[in-house]
């Protein structure tokens, strides 16, 4: 059913126009202000990244017009943060009593002084201790940002006059909340990988614009559940565990893990040069006229823990790992020796494999083996299967009840992902000694226990 809102008005507001509205208000029913320094840093990092564009959308805001006030129903966190930034600009860049100051442009000085007058009428009641602490800390954060040399007058102009918000305004309070709920429900349908798609499509260079339609078509033709599993079960866990960080649930707050650098906009930092070389060399090689003769194609050398190149390379990376990461079994890994074929057969067939805890252990095993293959290919693959099996399934045999937290804590205590990351040869990983189990607590895992005993990892 399509919802109809008779009083709905909508449009685009520049940040400067939004904050110049002296009727702006935050109603008492609003939740506390919960943005932290991390949110502030991300907001201004995004603004700096897009400062060369004609305009940049910061999000949406929902108003309820009542008694001459424009009450913010949705968008409080971002609006208050922008107010703090403007107040910091006024206090830090427009010292009281001075007409000539660090801001040379007369139009910007006048705009900030006018905004000061408007914001003087804005007096929300932040009774929550959480709100008060975050406002204090975030004001200090934005003060540090706007006083940096790189926060130029061009940046101030971009923030006030080219950063925009989409607004929706309603006169009826019940309509306002119904609209807010409908927007949130629509937002909840967006998976983290959908947000990443939108971000990386914006990162395409002008020369790559013709490729967008093909990329979107390929992405949309992929089963969304498969994409969700690829990110949550493999890419997110491997990427975070390789950093020594927890990896339980993949949510929207983790999308920054899959945002990297825009080769065409990033400064020439030394760490970027190897990415820049690989990026342009692969393109040059594949576009050379000789490829029309020999038919060769060079794929980009992706790695699971690499710095991501935004835009086209992100979609190529996801396609690469969609093809590389699948169900690991003995048919998928040829030429296995020793215990490896039996291990893969056993963990795919034993009776208790579908229990929640057993699925977590299987995820650990798969992720670790994928990390090894991503780093070293199929060199010593049989020994890698054995090592990953003993490491992962030791947790299964030691615990009767195994939860998501059990898996995550175990990985971080005995982090083999960090070991692979730091290894330069397969032997650096394969030579690590794993403990022998002294006691078995798990039930319905007899085939696993039998393998442990035969491999001399259980007394």
Q: End of a domain among 297, 323, 349?
A: 323
Question: Final residue of a domain: which of 189, 210, 225?
Answer: 189
pTM above 0.85, yes or no: no
Assess whether 281 and 353 both reside in one domain.
no
Assess whether 144 and 203 both reside in one domain. no
> What is the mean pLDDT of the segment spanning 162-179?
75
Question: What's the CA gap between 180 and 24, in Å, rounded?
Answer: 18
pLDDT reported for residue 188: 44
> Is the confidence at residue 421, as pLDDT, over 90?
yes
The pLDDT score that the predictor gives to residue 200 is: 87
Task: Give residue-wise pLDDT tens across range 359-382.
Answer: 999 999 999 999 999 999 999 999
- 100 shares a domain with 247: no
Rounded CA separation 318/377 (Å): 18
Same domain, 199 and 182: no
pLDDT band at 4 (very low <50, low <70, confident <90, very high): very low
Q: Which residues pair with 14 in a beta bridge?
A: 164
Specify if 331 maps to a domain: no
pLDDT attached to residue 68? 82
303 lies in the same domain as 357: no
- CA distance between the termini of the chain: 64
Count of CA atoms in the C-beta half-sphere (13 A) of 374: 25
Tens of pLDDT, residue by residue over 106-125, are: 999 899 999 998 888 777 77
Are residues 155 and 225 located together in one domain of the fold?
no
* pLDDT confidence bin for 186, thresholds 50/70/90: very low
Same domain, 221 and 160: no
Q: State whether the Cα torsion 418-421-426-428 is positive or negative.
A: negative
Q: Is residue 328 in a domain?
A: no
**pLDDT surpasses 80 at 29:** no
**Number of domains the chain is built from:** 3
Task: Inform me whether the pLDDT recorded for 193 exceeds 90.
Answer: no
- Is residue 446 assigned to a domain? yes
φ, ψ for residue 204 (rounded to 5)?
A: -60, 145
One domain for residues 173 and 209:
no
Three-class DSSP category at 168? strand
Three-point CA angle 302, 261, 326, nearest 5°: 30
Under 8 Å between Cβ of 14 and 61:
no
Residue 176 has pLDDT above 70, yes or no: no
From 136, 169, 189, the end of a domain falls on 189
Residue 129 included in any domain: yes
Q: Is the pLDDT of residue 173 over 80?
A: no
Element (H, E) at 161: helix 153-161
274 located within any domain: yes
The answer as to whether 281 is a domain residue is yes
Residues 224 and 165 grouped into a single domain: no
- What distance in Å separates the CA atoms of residue 371 and residue 203, rounded to the nearest whole number? 28
Q: In this structure, is residue 46 part of a structural domain? A: yes
User: Quick one: average pLDDT of 74-89?
Assistant: 91
- 41 and 146 co-located in one domain: yes
Residue 41 CB-density burial (10 A; 0-12 exposed, 13-18 middle, 19+ buried):
middle
Q: What percent of the chain has pLDDT over 70?
A: 91
* 172 shares a domain with 263: no
The answer, yes or no, to whether residue 182 has pLDDT greater than 60, is no
CA–CA distance, 244 with 258 (Å, rounded to integer): 16
Give residue 314's domain range: 195-323
Distances (CA, A) of 287 to 92, 296, 298, 309: 51, 10, 10, 19
| Nearest to 346, CA basis, from 364, 362, 369, 325 | 362
C-alpha–C-alpha distance, residues 163 and 98, integer Å:
28
55 & 166 share domain = yes
What does the DSSP assignment read for 261-292? B-TTTS---HHHHHHHHHHHHHHHHHHSTTHH
């Amino acid at each position: 059913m399509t919802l109809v809102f008779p009083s709905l008005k909508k449009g685009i507001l520049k940040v400067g126009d939004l904050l110049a509205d002296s009727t702006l208000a935050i109603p008492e029913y609003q939740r506390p202000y919960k943005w932290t320094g991390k949110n502030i840093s991300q907001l201004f990092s995004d603004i700096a990244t897009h400062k060369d564009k004609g305009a940049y959308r910061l999000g949406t805001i929902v108003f309820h017009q009542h008694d001459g006030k424009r009450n913010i129903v949705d968008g409080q966190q971002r609006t208050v943060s922008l107010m703090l930034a403007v107040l910091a600009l006024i206090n830090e860049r427009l010292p009281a009593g001075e007409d000539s100051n660090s801001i040379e442009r007369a139009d910007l000085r006048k705009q900030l002084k006018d905004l000061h007058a408007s914001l003087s009428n804005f007096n929300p009641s932040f009774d929550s201790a959480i709100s008060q602490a975050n406002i204090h800390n975030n004001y200090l954060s934005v003060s540090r940002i706007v006083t940096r040399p790189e926060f130029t007058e061009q940046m101030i102009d971009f923030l006030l006059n080219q950063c925009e918000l989409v607004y929706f305004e309603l006169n009826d309070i019940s309509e306002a909340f119904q609209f807010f709920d409908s927007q949130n429900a629509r937002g909840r349908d967006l998976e983290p990988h959908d947000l990443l798609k939108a971000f990386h499509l914006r990162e395409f260079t002008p020369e790559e614009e013709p490729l967008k339609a093909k990329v979107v078509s390929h992405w949309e033709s992929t089963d969304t559940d498969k994409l969700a599993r690829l990110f949550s079960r493999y890419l997110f866990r491997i990427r975070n565990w390789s950093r020594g960080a927890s990896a339980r649930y993949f949510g929207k707050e983790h999308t920054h893990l899959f945002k990297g650098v825009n080769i065409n906009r990033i400064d020439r930092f030394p760490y970027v040069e190897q990415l820049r070389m690989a990026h342009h060399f692969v393109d040059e090689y594949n576009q050379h006229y000789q490829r029309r003769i020999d038919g060769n194609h060079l794929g980009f050398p992706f790695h699971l823990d690499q710095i991501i190149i935004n835009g086209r390379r992100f979609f190529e990376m996801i396609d690469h790992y969609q093809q590389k990461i699948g169900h690991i079994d003995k048919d998928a890994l040829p030429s296995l020796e020793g215990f490896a074929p039996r291990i893969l057969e056993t963990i795919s067939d034993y009776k208790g494999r579908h229990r929640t805890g057993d699925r977590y252990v299987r995820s650990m095993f798969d992720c670790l083996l994928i990390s090894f293959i991503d780093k070293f290919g199929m060199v010593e693959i049989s020994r890698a299967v054995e090592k990953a099996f003993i490491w992962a399934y030791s947790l299964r045999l030691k615990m009767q009840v195994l939860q998501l937290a059990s898996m995550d804590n175990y990985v971080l205590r005995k982090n083999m992902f960090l070991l692979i990351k730091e290894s330069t040869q397969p032997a650096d990983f394969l030579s690590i000694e794993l403990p022998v189990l002294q006691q078995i607590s798990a039930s319905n895992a007899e085939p696993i226990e039998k393998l442990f005993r035969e491999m001399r990892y259980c007394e």
